[in-house]
Structure 1
Amino acid sequence: MTHEHPPTSKAASYQSNFSVVHFSRTYDEAFTLLIEARNYLSAHRGQSKKQGSREAVAQCVEEMRMTTRLIRAMAWLLAVRAVEAGEIPWDEAVDIDDLMVDLRVCTVNPHEEYGFLSPGLLDLMGRAHSLYMRTARMELQVAARCNG
């Protein structure tokens, strides 16, 4: 099945079997998860200082990775909204170089190794990873169509 989306500019139309749907549920999920993460990190700000230095560094790294995943997912979803609104074309919505760098950082999922992390943080990390992987797959599909 082929879906042709209305061109966002006269020069570039986007045609493929990748159907772009309204992302409001995914956007709402990302936004809610971002707020949850902010609230969790604010409430547990000094907790890592109580742990040994190696554990504190590992926790900090995983918290930053989680935050990066959420920000990257939100950035993609905002770009999709901009395309749907006709503000930018698809080829401007996808930055393949940034995506490749982010994939190397964000797809790592070592939190099973960190038994010292709180269950709340592990839950947030898992949900952020899941959301990031979904949005990254969408972006990779669009990038393949735009660059292929």
Structure 2
Amino acid sequence: MTHEHPPASRKAPYQSNFAVVHFSRTYDEAFTLLVEARNYLAAHRSKHRKRHNNREAIARCVEEMRMTTRLIRAMAWLLAVKAVEEGEILWEDVIDTDDLMVDLRICLEDRDEACASLSPGLLDLMDRAHALYMRTARMELQVAARCAN
């Protein structure tokens, strides 16, 4: 595990060391946010079913699913980084560019207009999940670019 990057002229496995303070904080943040989202959704599930019309309910459900997809995808990436750092897998086994592009398309879509009626708590969770997802997606894109060289 080094900080060296392979020369651009030869194909070599990408080596990095994300196991620094910012990575640890990002992992802790992801785990905490995932638990917080689970607790929020579990606590508010029945309350939301009864109060909203179909369009609002569908929009809320889509955004909740997009939020959990972002969180799960971020956590999956962070766990993969940990596995690479522990020597359990190689970067080449982690990177799936096609899968990443599908996830980016789903996770980067804008909110539905009906989301204006969502609770401030859910909107806050959605915003934090989006920010976390964007950070981990940038990391993954950087590693994918290095592995492609």
| TM-score category of the 2 structures, normalised to the smaller one | 0.7 to 0.9
- Please tell me whether the aligned partners of residues 17 and 85 of structure 2 are also in contact (alpha carbons under 8 angstroms): no
Matched, 1:53 2:51: no
Show structure 1 runs of 4+ deviating over 4 A.
none
Matched, 1:39 2:39: yes
Report the Cα offset of residue 96 of structure 1: 1.0
* Aligned CA-pair RMSD: 2.1
Q: Which has the higher contact order (CA 8 A, sep 6+)?
A: 2
User: Normalization by structure 1: what TM-score?
Assistant: 0.87
Equivalent in the alignment of 1:71: 72
Residue identity opposite 1:124 in structure 2: L
Q: What runs of 5+ residues in structure 2 fail to find an aligned partner?
A: 6-10
SS of residue in 1 equivalent to 2:116: coil
User: Which whole-Å CA distance do the structure 1 matches of 2:112 and 2:143 have between them?
Assistant: 29
Report the Cα offset of residue 14 of structure 1: 2.1
User: Which whole-Å CA distance do the structure 2 matches of 1:124 and 1:143 have between them?
Assistant: 28
Identity of matched residues, %? 71
Equivalent in the alignment of 1:102: 103
Moved more, 110-119 or 34-43: 110-119
Cα distance change on mapping 1:112 and 1:85 into 2, 3 Å: farther
Residue identity opposite 2:36 in structure 1: E
Equivalent in the alignment of 2:18: 20
Report the Cα offset of residue 147 of structure 1: 1.2
- Structure number with higher helix proportion: 2
- Please tell me whether the aligned partners of residues 109 and 129 of structure 1 are also in contact (alpha carbons under 8 angstroms): no
Cα distance change on mapping 1:112 and 1:132 into 2, 3 Å: farther
Report the Cα offset of residue 13 of structure 1: 3.3
Report the Cα offset of residue 89 of structure 1: 0.7
- Please tell me whether the aligned partners of residues 12 and 89 of structure 1 are also in contact (alpha carbons under 8 angstroms): no
Q: What runs of 5+ residues in structure 1 fail to find an aligned partner?
A: 6-10
Count of matched residue positions in the alignment of Structure 1 and Structure 2: 140
Q: Deviations over 1:83-138 (max 9, x none)?
A: 00011111111111111000000012326762100000000000000000000000
Residue identity opposite 1:20 in structure 2: F
